[in-house]
Amino acid sequence: MSRTHLHLFSDSTGETLQMVANAALAQFEGVDVVRHFWPMVRSRQHLERIVPELEKAPGLILYTLVNEDTRQALEEKCCQLALPAVDALGEVTAVLESQFGQEAHGRPGRQHRMDEAYFNRVDAIHFTIAHDDGAGSEEWHRADILLTGVSRTSKTPTSIYLANRGYKVANIPLVMESPPPPVLFELSGPLIVGLTTAPERLVQIRRNRLLSLNEASETAYAEHERVEEEVRFARRMFADNNWPVIDVTRRSIEETAAAIIKLMGERTTRAKPPEKPI
């Protein structure tokens, strides 16, 4: 298969553009793609310095340039070089302009501005790190979400992902010999979600974990019957407390987080009072 060059142009950090590219490329297997990343492109002069690289490695251009002058300059260069170019956010922005009845501001990096939402996200990350692995039970009531489950059910990485979305998350390990603090069963504010997985998959993950630590894999921690017992113990606790359960066996961290965010949205909708008829 021939090699494809993918040039990513952004007038900010390029985080959004890279996420779009990752999502699109994930739909293809066995492709040979060389990425060329060009962030903070905010002038024609900057663009002119990049053009020789386009000529040396022609390919697909994917861009998020909100400044009309810079965007037009890039489109002109692509036309001259006969290179396909795609505006990753253009069509969506145009539809939103029509929907809202106003023009987009066109400010580079606007989504990264240090506003209240930014500081709330930073606060959520600090909270989540401080309340990992059962720590800080006296502050669990301040959390938006509590994740609980047996060891190696992706509690910590899911918590960090959700924190980056602005949610304060605490995660609590379930150990048969050491039940969680009673406060867990008294909370009504946070959304408590149980994470579970197939015992076979959990055994494999735990054995790999032990090997990475240069420890013997033939221990109760990774023994199949013991793991099955732990999973049953956790599921009974979830059912007894009527906590929603997510099976992470075949889910990525992003998919698990999306399911939790959906639960949060449903919970918020149920909590809203019905609208009064006009």
Which residues are documented as binding site?
149-156
176 with 188: CB under 8 angstroms? no
Residue 203: exposure state from Cβ atoms within 10 A (0-12, 13-18, ≥19) = buried
**How far is Cα 190 from Cα 128, in angstroms, rounded to an integer?**
13
Query: Can you say whether the dihedral through the CA atoms of 202, 204, 209, 215 is positive or negative?
Result: positive
The total of other beta-carbon atoms located within 10 Å of residue 90's CB is 15
Query: Can you say whether the dihedral through the CA atoms of 128, 129, 135, 137 is positive or negative?
Result: negative
155 with 173: CB under 8 angstroms? yes
Element (H, E) at 185: none
Binding residues for ADP, as ranges, are 149-156
